[in-house]
Amino acid sequence: MRISEFSVRHPVVLGIILITLAFFGIIALIGTNVEFMGAINTPQVYVVAVYPGASSQDIENTVIDVLEDDFVTLQNFKSMTSQATNSLAMIVISFADGVDAYEMQTEVRNRINDLSSSLPSGLQGDPVAIVGGAEMLPIISFAVTGGEDLANLSEYVSEQIVPQITRLEGVSTVTVTGALEPVVEIKARLEDLDSKNISLLNIYQVLSYSNLSMPLGSAEYYGQQIQLRFDASYDSLEDIKNLAVGATEDGKVIHLSDVCDVSLIYEEPEYITRSNGADAIVVEVCKRSDGNTLSITDDIKKILDSERARSGGVLSFSLISDDSQTIRSSLKNVIESGVLGVIIAVLVIFLFLNDAKATLVIGLSIPLSIFFTTIVMAVMGISINLMSISGIVVSLGSIVDASIVVLDQVYRFYQKKKSDGSYENTLTQAILKGSAVVDTSVIGSNLTTVVVFIPIAMLSGIVGMILYPVSMTFMVAIFSSLIVAIIFVPFLLKLFVREKNRTQAKDNIVGRTTVKLEKLFKRALRYALDHALLFIVFAFALLLISIYLITALGFAFIPSTDNGDFYIDLAFPDSYTLENTDEAMLKAYEILSANVPEMQAYLMYSGKGSSIFDFSTSGSANKGSIHVVLTPSEERERDIHEIISQMQSLLSENIPGAKVSVRNGGFDNLVSFISSGGGYGLTLVGEDQSLLYQEAKRIENFLKTDPEVMSVSINSNYDSRVATMNASYDYMTSMGLTSYEAGMTNAILFNGVDVGVFSSGEDNYDIKLTSDVKDDGIDKSSLSDIKIYSSQTGAKISLDAIASLDTSTELSQINHVDRSRSITISANLISENTSGVTSRVDDYLKQNPLEEGIEKRTGGIGELMNDSYGPLLKMGAIGIFLVYVVMVLVFERYRQPLLIMLTVPFGMIGILLTLVAFGSTLNLISIMGIVTLVGMLVNNGIILVDYTNQLMEAGRLSYIEKNNIEYDKDENIYGIIPMEEEKRLLVENLVEGASSRIRPILMSALTTILGVIPMAFASGSGSEIYAPLGQVIMGGLTASTFITLFLMPLFYYRSEIKRMKRFYSRAERRINK
């Protein structure tokens, strides 16, 4: 029993299956996680170490080199980059694709623990290992302003807001910036220390050995075994003040308060945070990989609303970023495109069939396929995101293809009349016959569409993460449409169609037009067959000409988006103080507010950049940044790229001495994070740091002249002023002074050191020992007032006697790539197209080669493209081969599948024309569209060739029977009939086969083409990402539809004629022998 027969004979079974499918489909749809782009997590571990007061050179020598030498031996190690800046070390370790980053994080932490004795004691805690990926980027951030003062606001945020958010399901980290941190400050008064002959190092040692609480083991106490503990921790600030740090000559105790000021203060942050014109505290929230962005952000906004109401309007909570808005807006746009596409597709079907019930059958195949797809998505853990929904939307036209072919063939049998005018078949007979005719071709055409995606779905790395949702949902949707066409369409036809009213499709205007088109097409195809070679040559010439359009296309990794936010980074001369920077940043804000009326909110830092790689809580006095949030794209006339270009120009012209960089936010920010900077990047690697810098500056100056470059920078400059105390080791030794005594004393004097934790109730406060030496600034003469005590001789030695103060300018950042020193030149471009800049820089370096010992490596988006496109093209080629394999299995021939494959390149004519017309680039998404199109393009060819083969076989049998030719029924009958008759049959059946396929091919093509038009022309948040997919399919399928109808018969004809001549020629030679 055939499947279609089972469907017709068992309606109750099919009915309950439909109900079950719908029920679980809806449940899966409701319960599936919702995201913007799905999980994009690279196998990377970030290691961050804070070394307060250390220069980049110190960080490189004492932290970076030690850790890198060990990390390079990690299992599955792939590559490593590092940055050493003032007070901060960061190492990024990349592992082989498919490695679990969380397992490697544990291994990295173990390595750090093993190396703790080799790392400097001045580190602020142990280096921290963090798993890299999109989860490091906040899903929501907001600014808190208002209240009496920033200190109370800081306490309120940390004690009231943060705990509520941390408890939410799915939240991984909550980061607070701009808050004041309470600390116990012990500030040594140097004059009092000197007058009482107490060394600063003695103060440090007393504090280090105080505040002690430790276990003492167990003992028997009155006959019972108990645990012993020694506790001499501070109970109050008075305990700290009363510490004994020395004695007078007459034996009177000198207390800490006699020589130091002890107080609980709020430590001022090293940067200024503002939002909406007021000092602000910023809270950023990141989610776990399994966290639901929509539910987390909704819960956070409820918390903020509640706290706002509780404060009586005193506190203000301003959203700076909210991924849920982007997700909702983007999904709304793509879903609207899909719904509109469905409506158009159903309307096209109705116009062709002129039968509401038949249209209903086809229309129902869409939700049935979607329900099946959502169930599989839920089982496979695929979230509802922009790419997975795009896969479903793109598949909508293809979903109905199989059902259209089945229904069209059923209707041909259903409406076929006998000579006496009565109908030849009942509805059941028509369903069974029609399904039987097209089952093989429908299965083959759907399998070709599916198999091309199998290698794409197996891609690893960032490309695999982006394309996996769209490829899997498309495959599942097409596979489900095959099940619907074979199993459910026969059942639905039997359920809805009634035999008493058989309406011919040609009775309406579309039907009559189709009939006329078939007649016209027959005449045109006969003419083309008579001049087959000429038409084929013309088609290939057109293809070659169209390929030239590639030169008019730009190349990009992924289309740039307009998610309504961007970042402004300004770097000022190293001599700038925080006050100088803040003044310049306020001027930048004035320019911004005067020229960007679309601004909805902003967050401004003075003394801190907005780099997504900035893991330090310390600031950089000469840097500033502004995160600008705009009104939704549909509410403004200008797109974000116009605004970015304007601000880049205005700020560069009006903020003297500043290096300005304006970059896009949204998904572009994520791409920048993944590609370590985004835009154009070029990394120079070598061991000679001065030569690296010289060559980097040369390329930077060249890029500044490029018309596509908005801003350019290098990640290492000689802009860090360092004053080095060069100590005389011989003199220190002669005075009985050790390097530790001199070095630690200076660390306390100029930087301050942590000396424990003071606990008061549930609150813990760091204790910091510092001095008043920097209160009035320092110079060379001030060194004579600083005294260092020798523990061996008791002598008091002035600092200027043992060290000279020499100033120099050093690199503010030292970079490594795989343990070699490097410098990266980065450029923000006016568009996402990097091909032009890359080409021009390559040409420049060919004419002006790099110095010996310096090698270049592609960075930024270019590196991402190089790493991504190779595997993508390889998997695409494998997919195309699999399409050929499926067709060979369907036809059981090698030659005819090759003929069908020949039509695929001609789809590029429409693809390239469409991309040029839309001004789109050739990028990851458009290439995905081309791969998608490969499976679609061969479908019509498969159905046409399969039907023509059936007609040819039937024609030969008819001739044999009519002329009473004897033949072996188990043998191939090809060649039994005369050659001239074979030629006549070939032409007649090609014309008949192609013309009879016009209606299903046009229905199929139009439902797909018109269905993706809303996607191709989509605007609004996120549309830039999925629009190229619709554009490629719209253009490629439009061109290939006409090509298939004409070129496929011509290829078939030329191939069969050659085969025929060879066969009959060999047969004639055998007869003559």
3-state DSSP of 839-861: HHHHHHHHHCCCCCCCEEEEEHH
Q: Kindly report the CATH number assigned to the domain that includes residue 20.
A: 1.20.1640.10
Are 548 and 681 members of one domain? no
Average pLDDT over residues 941-969: 79
Q: Is the pLDDT score of 712 beyond 80?
A: yes
| Tokens at 499, concatenated | 């035999």
Please tell me whether residues 520 and 583 are part of one structural domain: no
Tell me which of 104-108, 326-330, 631-635, 778-782 is least confident: 778-782
pLDDT at 108: 93
pLDDT tens digits, 440-454: 767 777 788 888 888
Task: Report the Cα–Cα distance between both ends of the chain, in Å, rounded.
Answer: 50
Eight-class DSSP state of 976:
S
Residues 395 and 528 both lie in one domain: no
Predicted confidence at residue 777, as pLDDT, reads 65
Say if CB 657 and CB 573 are below 8 A apart: yes
What average pLDDT does this structure show over 955-975?
74
Percent of the chain clearing pLDDT 70 (strictly above): 92
Alpha helices in 228-292 (DSSP H): 237-241, 256-259
Report whether pLDDT(591) > 90: yes
Query: In terms of DSSP H, where are the helices of 636-708?
Result: 640-654, 666-674, 689-703
> What pLDDT is stored for residue 14 in this prediction?
83
Give the separation between CA 465 and CA 387, rounded to whole angstroms.
Answer: 10
Q: If DSSP codes are grouped into helix, strand and coil, which group holds residue 36?
A: coil
What pTM, to 2 d.p., does this model score? 0.76
Same domain, 684 and 738: no
- Positive or negative torsion for Cα 678, 679, 685, 688: negative
Residue 901 resides in a domain:
no
Identify whether 289 is part of a domain: no
Give how far Cα 1032 sits from Cα of 125, 139, 592, Å. 53, 32, 38
Query: What is the per-residue pLDDT across 675-686, written as a single tens digit (0 to 9) for each?
Result: 665 678 888 998
82 neighbors 816 (Cβ within 8 angstroms):
yes
pLDDT tens for each residue of 1001-1031: 787 788 888 878 888 887 766 677 888 888 8
- 1073 three-class SS: coil
Whether residue 676 is found in the same domain as residue 747: no
3 state DSSP class of 83: strand
d(CA 664, CA 673): 12
Compute, in degrees rounded to 10, the torsion defined by CA atoms 86, 90, 91, 97: -150
Considering 539-548, 665-674, 699-708, 1040-1049, the range whose residues carry the highest mean pLDDT is 699-708
Residues 773 and 703 in one domain: no
Pull the structure tokens for residue 982. 């074979």
Count: domains in the chain: 5
Q: What is the CATH number of the domain that holds 972?
A: 1.20.1640
Question: According to the model, what pLDDT value does residue 1014 have?
Answer: 83
Q: Is residue 428 part of a domain?
A: yes
Mean pLDDT (the chain) is 82
Separation CA 769–CA 211 (nearest Å): 14
Q: Decide if 334 contacts 393 (C-beta within 8 A).
A: yes
Indicate whether 256 and 211 sit together in one domain: yes
- For residue 812, report the phi and psi dihedrals to the nearest 5 degrees: -75, -20
CA distances from 515 to 507, 694, 858 (A): 10, 74, 58
DSSP 531: T
Minimal CA–CA distance to 600: which of 566, 625, 642? 566
Determine contact, residues 859/817, Cβ cutoff 8 Å.
no
Position 290 in a domain:
no
Q: How far apart are CA 680 and CA 839, in angstroms?
A: 11
* Segments forming the whole domain that contains residue 438: 1-31+354-498
- The answer as to whether 115 is a domain residue is yes
Query: 1034 and 954, same structural domain?
Result: yes
| Mean pLDDT in residue range 659-676 | 74
Q: Is residue 274 pLDDT above 90, yes or no?
A: no
Q: What is the pLDDT of residues 500-544, one digit of tens each?
A: 555 554 456 776 777 788 888 888 888 888 888 888 888 888 888
C-alpha–C-alpha distance, residues 1044 and 905, integer Å = 11
Averaged pLDDT for residues 828-835: 75
Confidence band of 301 (pLDDT split at 50, 70, 90): very high
**What is the Cβ-side half-sphere exposure of residue 461, based on CA atoms within 13 angstroms?**
18
Phi/psi of residue 802, nearest 5 degrees: -110, -15
- Whether 737 and 689 have beta carbons less than 8 Å apart is answered as no
Write out pLDDT tens, residues 842-859. Answer: 899 899 988 888 998 877
Q: Which two tokens stand for residue 470?
A: 């769209």
In the 8-state DSSP scheme, what is residue 452? T
The pLDDT assigned to 436 comes to: 76
pLDDT for the residue 901: 84
In whole angstroms, what is the distance from residue 920 CA to residue 831 CA?
Answer: 11
Tell me which residue of 601, 595, 599, 592 sits closest to 568, measured CA to CA. Answer: 592
Max CA pair span of the chain: 139
- Residues 712, 737: one domain? no
For position 797, which CATH number holds?
3.30.2090.10
pLDDT value of residue 395: 81
Q: Indicate if 584 and 529 belong to the same structural domain.
A: no
So what's the pLDDT on residue 505? 46
Between CA 1019 and CA 1027 the distance in angstroms is: 8
* Mean local confidence (pLDDT), 252-279: 87
Residue 333 lies in a domain: no
Secondary structure class of 252 (helix, strand, coil): coil
What tens digit of pLDDT does each residue of 162-175 get? 999 999 988 888 98
Torsion angles phi and psi, residue 16, rounded to 5: -70, -30
pLDDT tens for residues 533-572? 888 888 888 888 888 777 777 777 777 778 888 889 888 8
The Cα–Cα gap between 334 and 384 comes to 12
Q: Is residue 319 part of a domain?
A: no
Length of the chain: 1073
Residue 586 sits in the same domain as residue 686: yes
Q: What SS3 class is residue 499?
A: coil
The answer on 640 and 527 residing in a single domain is no
Which residues on adjacent β-strands are paired with residue 184? 264, 767
Question: What radius of gyration do the chain's Cα atoms show?
Answer: 38
Phi and psi angles of residue 156, each rounded to the nearest 5 degrees, phi first = -65, -45
Please report the pLDDT score of residue 674 as a whole number: 64
Distance CA 523, CA 527 (A): 6
Checking if the pLDDT of 241 tops 60, the result is yes
Structure confidence at residue 980 as a pLDDT band (50, 70, 90)? confident
Q: What pLDDT is attached to residue 617?
A: 47
* DSSP β-ladder status, 763-771 and 181-188: parallel
Q: Comparing C-alpha atoms, which of 622, 804, 803 is closest to residue 720?
A: 622
187: pLDDT confidence band, cut at 50, 70 and 90? very high
Q: 622 lies in a domain?
A: yes
Of 126, 129, 49, 130, the C-alpha closest to 86 is 49
- Environment class of residue 22 by beta-carbon count within 10 Å: exposed (0-12), middle (13-18) or buried (19+)? middle
CB distance 474 to 391 below 8 Å: yes
